[in-house]
Amino acid sequence: MSRLSRLIAVAANTFRETVRERVLYNLVFFAILMTLSGLLLGQLSIRQDEKILKDIGLASMDLFGTLIAVFIGTGLVSKEIERRSLYPLLAKPLGRGEFFLGKFAGLAFTLLVNLGVMTAGLYLTLVLTGRGADPVLLAAVYPLFLGFLLVVAFAMLFSTVSSSSALAAVFTVGVVVAGRFTDVIRNMRDVAPGVPPWAVDVLYSALPNFRNFDFKDRVAYGDAVPPDVLAWVTLYGVAYVAVVLAIGLASFRSRDFQ
Amino acid sequence: MRRLPLLAVLLCAPAVPWSQAQIDRRAGTYRAQEEVLYLWSGEQVKRLFPGFESLAADVYWLRTVQYFGGERLFSREKRFELLRPLVDISTTLDPRLEIAYRYGAIFLSEPFPVGAGRPREGIELLEKGTRNLPLSWRLRQDYGFFHHIFLGETEKAAAILNEAASLPGAAFWLRTLAADLLAKGGSRQAARRMWQQMYEQAEEGIIRQNAKVRLEILDSLDLADRLTGLGRELERRTGRRPARLEDLREAGLWRGPLTDAEGTPFRYDRESGRVFISQESPLWRPE
């Protein structure tokens, strides 16, 4: 069995495990939300129903995806440690890198399926309620997925350095919240002029800027996202995920499980 | 003992909707709307929803429409002091929510009981809209219209309409309307064109309904002026001022209705010989 096929096997097993844990049940809630929104908004919003439908659909994808990434992501490694199911796995011809990256790939696939079904649901609602299937929406869905990958990477990093999945979840939520307030950090000098500029710059650059993955408002009004912006966001996301995963992997490898 | 949970559910479940109804009766159905009075500025509310500002704007917008009316009217005893903060928070969370500026401006500017009777605030809201959506000629058009209709600032209105005319996609008639305003001043004809445009541009709903009422008011004012003129004509012919409007009919000067567009009889002031829209009419507005 090659290294890649072992990694895929771990990923496939992680996907099955998340499905078994009823993670995809959030799709039922999403379907109910979309149906009710489609039925009710026309009467309530004074012709803003299409925009509000898109807002609700995209915000639900963002919220559910982030919650899954945090709470499943933090359990991927730490639960295996807590349950002591990691030891027999590592005794097999399976590298720690393959295990770690396989877990990441498995949850990434779960999130992709979840996001794909939600996107299809949003398009279906738009079409069934007489609006067009606007392809511009995909320009917001794709960066959301990149953001989820980054959240999973952080969740896995914290689950390797902390002793409990609850603590890892708290750390991950902290990073996600801070990453959504990066503009406050950038403008910190306005309210705290004594802070050295280099400290602000370091903090701003080091924290993940989750606003980079947020184009929901723009596409809800039908505005396209320029391809070069998407390309830079992709580079940012991939580079950041690679760094966090690498640190997480190094931490995982250095842990003594005896 | 095994049936205890079932018994608890059966006993307690009806208490939930019952106590909720009691809370609503005491605290009011529109608590969520009234809470805006305790919130900070829209900017601070925005800080609470990083990444979800647009959705939060939708929530505030839906609350505004639920309370003040959209396709149909909801709240009867409206508290107009809630309108400005609700619209302000909606538009700060989503600065591109064009409908909120137009809707808010109308109901802030219209006199009580239709609106809050605060046209300056309505115009401030439209000004905020033109800052946030500088390429929206419709918002700038409304900004000009409101200066003329509610503040009587004709020259400023004409200048703003000319600005609107220079925006991409603007209607061709904006320049002629601006020129008419400068030439004829605050004529009723100019106001009619403005409301007619707002009526034609608006979707079905409360904004369109308001424009329709405004057009009916102008029609009724025209008719009242015409009846006033006929009264003077009768006075010239007979040497005495008509005692009542029906005298015009009896003299064969008028065969049409003596009611406004809503069917309410006009008020006739015998002292001055003038005809007015009755205060009993839904079309009556303070002068």
pLDDT in tens, A104-143: 999 999 999 999 999 999 999 889 888 888 899 999 999 9
Q: What is the pLDDT of residue B21?
A: 82
Residue-level pLDDT at B230: 92
Q: Test A51 with B71 for CB contact under 8 angstroms.
A: no
**A6 pLDDT exceeds 90?**
no
Q: Is A47 on the interface with B (CB under 8 A)?
A: yes
**pLDDT tens for each residue of A196-242:** 888 888 888 888 999 899 999 889 888 889 999 999 999 999 999 99
A173 neighbourhood in chain B, CB within 8 Å = none
Peptide bond into B113 cis (omega under 30): yes
Interface test with B, best of A36, A41, A46 (most B CBs within 10 A): A46
pLDDT for the residue numbered B66: 80
In A, which residues are within 8 Å of B99 by CB distance? 46-48
Q: With b meaning 16 or more CB within 10 Å and e meaning fewer, what string describes A178-205?
A: bbbbbeebeebeeeeeeeeeeebeeebe
What does the pLDDT read at residue B50? 84
Q: Which residues belong to CATH 1.25.40.10 in chain B?
A: 25-210
CB nearest A180 (choices: B51, B66, B103): B51
Q: Among B51, B58, B71, select the one facing A43 at the smallest CB separation.
A: B71
CATH code for the part of the protein at B25-210: 1.25.40.10
**Residues of chain B in Cβ contact (below 8 Å) with chain A:** 47, 50-55, 58, 61-62, 65-66, 70-71, 94, 96-97, 99, 103, 203, 205-207
Predicted pLDDT at B168: 93
Q: How far is CA A192 from CA A132, A177, A186, A199, A231, in A?
A: 48, 21, 11, 12, 34
Residue in chain A lying closest to B97 (CA): A48
> Among B79, B52, B50, which Cα is nearest to B63's?
B79
Task: For residue B137, give the nearest of B104, B106, B161 by alpha carbon.
Answer: B161
Which residues in chain B touch residue A56, judged by CB atoms under 8 angstroms apart? Answer: 55, 58
Q: What global pTM score does this model have?
A: 0.76
* Per-residue pLDDT band at A102 (split at 50, 70, 90): very high
Verify whether the Cβ–Cβ distance B70 to A211 is below 8 Å.
Answer: no
Measure in Å the smallest separation between the Cα of B18 and chain A Cα atoms.
Answer: 25
Secondary structure (H, E, C), chain A = CCHHHHHHHHHHHHHHHHHHCCHHHHHHHHHHHHHHHHHHHHHHCCCCHHHHHHHHHHHHHHHHHHHHHHHHHHHHHHHHHHCCCHHHHHHCCCCHHHHHHHHHHHHHHHHHHHHHHHHHHHHHHHHHCCCCCCHHHHHHHHHHHHHHHHHHHHHHHHHHHCCCHHHHHHHHHHHHHHHHCHHHHHCHHHHCCCCCHHHHHHHHHHCCCHHHHCCHHHHHCCCCCCHHHHHHHHHHHHHHHHHHHHHHHHHHHHCCCC
- Give the pLDDT confidence score for residue A247 in this predicted structure: 93
Q: Which of these, B231, B194, B226, B217, lies nearest to B264 by C-alpha position? A: B217
Q: In a mutagenesis test of the A interface, which of B55, B91, B93, B101 is the best target, namely the one with the most A β-carbons within 10 Å?
A: B55
198-227 in A: which are within 8 Å (CB) of B?
A: 210-211, 214, 216-217, 220-221
Better-scored residue on pLDDT, B217 or A162: B217
Query: CB within 8 A of B72, min separation 6: which ones?
Result: none
Residue B39 has a pLDDT of 66
Q: What percent of chain A has pLDDT over 70?
A: 96
Distance from CA of B219 to the nearest CA of A (A): 27
What are the structure tokens assigned to B56, written together? 């939060």
- Residue B73: per-residue pLDDT: 53
Q: Which residues of B touch A180 (CB under 8 A)?
A: 50-51
**Which residues, including other chains, have CB under 8 Å from residue A63's CB and lie 6 or more apart?**
B52
Smallest Cβ–Cβ distance between A46 and the set B52, B55, B103 belongs to: B103
Please give the residue of chain A at the shortest CA–CA distance from B102. Answer: A46
- Report the alpha-carbon distance of residue B41 to residue B28 in Å, rounded: 24
Look at residue A249 and tell me whether its pLDDT is greater than 60: yes
Q: What is the mean pLDDT of each run of 10 residues along chain B (287 residues)?
A: 83 84 76 68 79 88 80 65 88 92 90 86 95 94 91 90 91 83 75 84 78 90 92 89 88 88 90 89 79
